[in-house]
Chain A
Amino acid sequence: MARHIAIVEDEPTIAANYRDALSRQGYLVSVYSDRPSALRGFQQQLPDLAIIDVGLGDEIEGGFDLCRELRSRSPELPIVFLTARESEFDVISGLRLGADDYLTKDISQAQMMVRIVALFRRVDALKAPSLKEDIISHGKLMINKERMNTRWNNLNIDLTVTEFWIIYALARHPGHVKNRQQLMDAANVVLDDNTITSHVKRIRKKFLAVDADFDAIETAYGMGYRWKAV
């Protein structure tokens, strides 16, 4: 059965473009142009994944409200923000509401597809634990690639898809410096250096939240980052 993806986007051309692209991949796509119509649609049936714009018509933060409501109804539903707003503040607000990823609109379709696939795979992995699990364990860190699950000191770290891929790229080869470009490739994003920096900063904060002594991600000035070899 085809998976159902909901796009909430007030710009009809973009919505149509994404619908076309996703349909081509065999997904069932519903497009809503504002929050009320999206809510009505979700009341009838929850989608398998929601791609939401932050600004919806007159409601400049309608996407955040929608995300909050969706999350309250389904804790498992993957939610991706796709927006032109790229300020640090918006990113943090969006992720705090429980979104699985926060993408800016200049992301390419290919990168978006990879994310969608990854998110569905995680959902599947959570539903039916497969026997063959790809687990990286290093010191206190344990990464389950299939489930896109990260644990530190046996505590769950809630990471976005982008963040997960960055951690995964770093932790797979502890001690090796990964430069920003490598991390971008791993995370399937084309971002400027600053964004990688702020991603790494957020990742650190998330680890620090569970372990105040966390210092496993080291900065190699001018080059990139590396996972501290134990």
Chain B
Amino acid sequence: MTLNKQLLCVSIILLCLPWAGCQYIREVDNIFRTSQEQTLMASTKAVASVLSQQAALLQTYNSDEHFTPLYFHPLASSLWIDGYSEGWESIPAIPYQAAHNPQQSVTVRSAIHNKKLFLYFQVIDNNVIYNNPAQSLIDDGDGIAVIAASGRQYIFTTSAPGNVIARYRNETNRIYRESKINAYWQDTEAGYDLEVSLPTELAAGRLSFYIIDQNADNIRSNNSEHKETSNNHTTDYYGPMANAPHSRPPYYIYQSAALQQQLDIFEQPGQRINVVEPHYWLLAKTGTIELPKAIEQRDTTENSHWLIKKLYRFLLNSNIHLKTQYSESTNFSERLEVIRGFDGHSNSRWYKDPEHSSQNILAVAVPVFHNKAEATEANKQNIIGVVVAEQSSEQLAALSDNAFNKLLALSLGAIILVAIALLGYTSWLSWRIKRLSRAATEVLSDDGKLLDNFPTSRAADEIGDLTRNYAQLLQRIGDYTEYLQTLSRKLSHELRTPLAIIHSSLDNLNNQPLDPHSETYQQRAKQGAIRLGNILTAMSEASRVEASIENAELETIDLFTLLSGVSAAYQDIYPQHRINFSSSNGFNYTIQAVPDLLVQMLDKLIDNAASFCPENGLIGFTLSHHNKYIEITVSNDGPLLPEKMRSQLFNNMVSLREQNKNSSHLGLGLYIVSLIVQFHHGSISAANRDDASGVFFTIHLPT
């Protein structure tokens, strides 16, 4: 693993910075949430306390416990009374089951618009019996009775589908028709539908109904709630007022304009305030959860890029997991916070926003107590309503977007800065180390010599120290190598004087009368001294070649002439080997060279070859011309070169010879060859023959 890769790995740690940032943002978001809850709670409590001072707007709805009140949904426009269900689709139906007959039931929808109450009954009756006016205008046939605050029961029966006249009995039991009421009867497959509209002043705040179901046959159902028998008919009654048709109907519930006005004071953008009565019906609401487009637009464009916004929402969304989805309704019976509110607890709850998957909705519910009641939990029968304030988390998110933006920008900037600084710094360090490593590699030339090109460093740090130590080390090694290289020359020089003493002494001894034994010893001593002299000569040969190279002058010579002459001469000198010279004809082999040095080089090579080549073995010279150089090879049938020593072969003092040979070899021969080749800007290499029959040296001399 290179330093750079390691660095990359380490810099991954930097990624924990954005992670920490996200954690921080979540923490901040939690705090924001809590504070949003508290703020909304406070403002909702303010609304609740104001409403409790004006309990009159609310308290009426709490008075009846016996009957389920009807809730009149607000309508955007008036309805055409035609018995059809157009215009009622958005209004929830409330079903009533007939107790005496499971097949009998009614669903009722109720709405209010412009001081007119609308009712839409859908009665399921497998046997619709029409009114027989001959029997009675009221008491005959199926129908519906609607009871107003005055106690009047408006009865709708008809002898045929179409417009129905509402009739009632006055105190004197006479039947009257009420012309302010419009109604229309429509037969359906399952039974009949009845659509009714009546002015609010007729209802006078209270309204309820029951269904009159006359049975055609004589079979009496035993469990009918309320029966009347006339002729051969039985009549069943069901619906909210079926059991007590003469008691006061409950207040009906509708969204009151007075309360609405009161609430409008508290309206704030992005916040919806609902007032819910104890039956969980909505009494009034003001404001919308959606932020005004203008504000949202401004936030979006000014503060945050959509991507950042999205990222932010994503981060926060994973913070909380909400199961409940917000749904808007005029009935709050499903809403836990409202239920708890009616238990006397102020509480809050988060919902998923169904329209914006990344947003949440906060709902706060605060109970409204009757103005004289104490606002305690134990006092919950005095709760006349619950104020529910709803707000989108977007409001808060839009606010904290800015903070997130800044945090993101700052931490991103910091990360980039730190990363660049770290990367730069470490790249610089690794560049220095690389440079040092390269310098350490380059300081050793191809032929194993130490070059004087190691850079000096003035840096005061550890790498600088390393460089200097390295330089010092190389200096020492260089000195030592130089000492070793000059050692042979110095040694041969120093040994020459004592050798001269031995020589001259032996020569003197030669002139003395000696007995035969002494003469033998004298001769042996002489031989030893001569050999010692040869060794010394060989030792200083390399330095003499170096000296003669310094003084050498290039001449134009023909290599073919030189080689053919030399190889012929070598055959005389080495009669025990076959010496062969071949060359590719037709080329010009003249080059600029120093012939004496070349001959000396060839001498060394043939001397080397002959010493390895077995008797009667072949020593071959070849000369060939290549594009930019002339190639000379010298091959012999000797033993193969060991692989490991191949590159050191031409170094000073390296010898591959076995040590038991009698002749003195100091490993200088091939070194001298390489000196001469280098002087001619050529190259030399040694290799084994492909068929492993011997060794060949290849010399390239540039033309």
Give the interface of A toward B (CB within 8 A).
Answer: 11, 13-14, 17-18, 20-21, 24, 84-89, 104-106, 108-110, 192-194, 197-198, 201, 219-223
Contacts and interface: CB of A to CB of B under 8 A. Distances in A.
Given A108-B503, A223-B572, 13 more contacts: A11-B497, A11-B501, A17-B505, A21-B504, A86-B544, A87-B544, A87-B547, A88-B548, A106-B496, A193-B603, A194-B600, A221-B599, A222-B566
B603 to A, nearest CB: 7
Contact of B504 (A14, A86, A192): A14
22 contacts: A13-B505, A14-B497, A21-B504, A86-B496, A88-B548, A88-B551, A89-B547, A105-B499, A106-B499, A106-B500, A106-B533, A109-B503, A109-B508, A192-B541, A193-B600, A194-B545, A194-B548, A219-B596, A221-B565, A221-B566, A222-B568, A223-B569
Interface in B530-568: 533, 536-537, 540-541, 544-545, 547-548, 551, 561-563, 565-568
B507 A222 contact: no
Contacts of A89: 547
Contacts of A24: 511
A221 B562 contact: yes
Nearest to B602: A222
Interface of B: 493, 496-497, 499-501, 503-505, 507-508, 510-511, 533, 536-537, 540-541, 544-545, 547-548, 551, 561-563, 565-570, 572, 595-596, 599-600, 602-603
Nearest to A18: B504
Contacts of B501: 11, 13-14, 17
Contact of A88 (B497, B544, B599, B603): B544
Nearest to A221: B565
Contacts of B596: 197, 201, 219
A86 B600 CA distance: 19
A221 B621 CA distance: 15
A88 B497 CA distance: 18
Nearest to B570: A222
Which of the listed residues B508, B600, B603 has the most CB atoms from chain A within 10 Å of its own CB?
A: B508
A11 B499 CA distance: 12
A228 to B, nearest CB: 16
B595 to A, nearest CB: 6
Contacts of B499: 105-106
Nearest to B540: A86
Given A87-B547, A221-B599, A223-B569, A17 B508 contact: yes
A198 B544 CA distance: 11
Nearest to B489: A87
B316 to A, nearest CB: 90
Given A105-B499, A194-B541, A222-B567, A110 B493 contact: no
Contacts of A198: 548
B565 A21 contact: no
Given A20-B508, A24-B511, A88-B547, A105 B500 contact: yes
Contacts of B567: 222
B565 A109 contact: no
A88 B493 CA distance: 14
A194 B496 contact: no
Contacts of B568: 222-223
A106 to B, nearest CB: 5
Ranked nearest first, the 5 interchain pairs of A and B with the lowest CB-CB distance are A222-B569, A222-B566, A17-B504, A105-B500, A109-B507
Contacts of A109: 503-504, 507-508, 510
A194 B510 CA distance: 30
B496 A105 contact: yes
A108 B599 CA distance: 28
A87 B493 CA distance: 10
Contacts of A105: 496-497, 499-500, 503
A109 B603 CA distance: 30
Which of the listed residues B504, B565, B600 has the most CB atoms from chain A within 10 Å of its own CB?
A: B504
A86 B603 CA distance: 22
Nearest to B596: A197
Nearest to A219: B595
A110 B602 CA distance: 33
A105 B537 CA distance: 12
Nearest to A13: B501
B508 A21 contact: yes
B599 A222 contact: yes
Nearest to A108: B507
B565 A220 contact: yes
Nearest to A15: B504
A17 B512 CA distance: 13
A21 B511 contact: yes
A84 B565 contact: no
Contacts of A110: 507
B573 to A, nearest CB: 8
Contacts of B566: 221-222
Nearest to B568: A222
B496 A84 contact: yes
Contacts of B572: 223
A195 B501 CA distance: 22
A85 B507 CA distance: 21
Nearest to B501: A13
A13 B599 CA distance: 40
Contacts of B595: 219, 221
A223 B565 contact: yes
Given A220-B565, A222-B565, A223-B565, A84 B500 contact: yes
B470 to A, nearest CB: 35
